Structure 1
Amino acid sequence: MAAPPKKPHLRERYDERQREVLDTCAGVLARHGYHGTSIDDLIAATGLTRGGLYHYIGSKPELLSRVLADLMAPLLEQARPIVEGPDAPATAIERLRALTRLWMTHVEEHQDHVTVFLQERHTLEQDPSWDEVRGDRDAFEALLTTVLEQGVADGELRLADPGLTALGLLGMVNHSVVWFRRGGRLSAQQVADGFVDLLLGGIRA
């Protein structure tokens, strides 16, 4: 992948176009799978030449790594203030609800990326490029577990294993991409609240 331009106005245009290309390519990967997608498929979807495609995404492995990184890094950046920031919600239950709403909205806005993540994570797990994605994923899981542990410590929640509960909620939200559709019966916020209410029905002190 070629180095992006250094001049600010050119870099802004480059970043915007690269975002469009990555989103388009994520859609192709989500529909056909990593191994079922050829470079020619990506060229056809983006309207770029082979050289133009390389300019924005590099190789197929680089594309996959970037799609997954673009899913996790922004989510983690927005999640940290909810748990650790000075303006974080006052109670653990409020933090849990805010975190799940953010997360479910992220799923809504990045359905192709989440689908690729679920389908292809094992393709990259042995590759060094996966380390950053895995680090962000583990950090988000740790934030969620921290909120649940805070709830137990404050007497808001009753949990034998906060880590297990975090994994269960992770599974519910991540796999909602299989059935959730924007504009459907429930909004992303309603789905998030439904998941939290379902969880709290069994663990509220």
Structure 2
Amino acid sequence: MGERYLRWRTVSRANRTRAERKSPEERSAEIQDAARSIALSGGLTAITLRSVAAQAGVTPALVAHYQPSMESLVASTFTAVVRTELADVASLLGPFPTATERLAHLIDTLQDGSRDDLTLVWVDAWSLGRRSDLLASAVRTQMDAWEALITDVLVEGCDAGEFSTGDPDTVAWQLLGMIDGLNAQSLVHYRDAPSRGRLIARAIEHELGLSPGALTAAAAAPRR
């Protein structure tokens, strides 16, 4: 029994020594990656000291050492997840040659039902942000970034004569609000994804002076 205990102590000490060899930067990145994984699988509300520690394979005390504020970790996790989403969508839109096609595929991509994990992150952020100024500020910053992406597409369409609106900023805000609202509804399976996409497309077609069905047709057309 004594020999077995000594062997266990030796292995345990060796494991701790190996863990301690990670640099502070590596350990911090490991914890942040764990938080992002948790957010995408269970939302921001699932990020706790214990859940992050378990995901990263470290102790809660070590998480607290590198992330003394869970409020800060939640806010930075939200920002990291949403920045990645925005970059992915911007990259997806890049190859389309016209603003109409880019706008159509933007709506289709954000309403096709494949991003429920990201929608949950957003919904949790709006809810938790009521009691966290840090998170609320992060949410507003990322909403501004999304609105800027949409506005750029609308301005390009106006400059090319594809769209007709004197206020692309307001139309972008309207579109963002519709996308956010209908995506939130999708979490409880209210209506189906194609219906939600068509509802948004019809409203925005009207705002931009497009013929009915123009955005739906553009989304369905093969990429050139």
How far residue 194 of structure 1 moved from its aligned partner, in angstroms, is 3.4
How far residue 150 of structure 1 moved from its aligned partner, in angstroms, is 1.7
1:157 partner SS? coil
Change (3 A) 1:67 1:175: farther
Give the corresponding residue for 1:59: 69
How far residue 193 of structure 1 moved from its aligned partner, in angstroms, is 4.3
Unmatched segments (≥5 aa) in structure 1 = 30-38
Question: Whole-Å Cα distance in 2 between the matches of residues 55 and 196 of structure 1?
Answer: 48
1:159 aligns with 2:189: no
More deviation, 107-116/91-100: 107-116
Unmatched segments (≥5 aa) in structure 2 = 1-22, 211-224
Q: Which amino acid aligns with 2:70?
A: K
1:198 aligns with 2:203: yes
Alpha carbons 1:92, 1:156 under 8 Å: kept: yes
Identity level (%): 20
Task: Find the structure with the greater CA-based Rg.
Answer: 2
Q: Which amino acid aligns with 2:108?
A: R
Q: How many residues align?
A: 181
2:24 partner SS? coil
1:109 to 107, 111, 117: 117
How far residue 78 of structure 1 moved from its aligned partner, in angstroms, is 1.7
Q: Under a length normalisation based on structure 1, what TM-score does the superposition of the two structures give?
A: 0.66
1:99 aligns with 2:85: no
1:144 aligns with 2:150: yes
Question: Whole-Å Cα distance in 2 between the matches of residues 172 and 136 of structure 1?
Answer: 16
The one of the two structures with greater contact order (alpha-carbon pairs below 8 A, sep at least 6) is: 1
Alpha carbons 2:75, 2:138 under 8 Å: kept: no
Alpha carbons 2:163, 2:209 under 8 Å: kept: yes
Question: Whole-Å Cα distance in 1 between the matches of residues 185 and 136 of structure 2?
Answer: 27
Question: Whole-Å Cα distance in 2 between the matches of residues 191 and 56 of structure 1?
Answer: 42
Q: Which amino acid aligns with 2:120?
A: D
Change (3 A) 1:25 1:62: farther
Question: Whole-Å Cα distance in 2 between the matches of residues 22 and 69 of structure 1?
Answer: 11
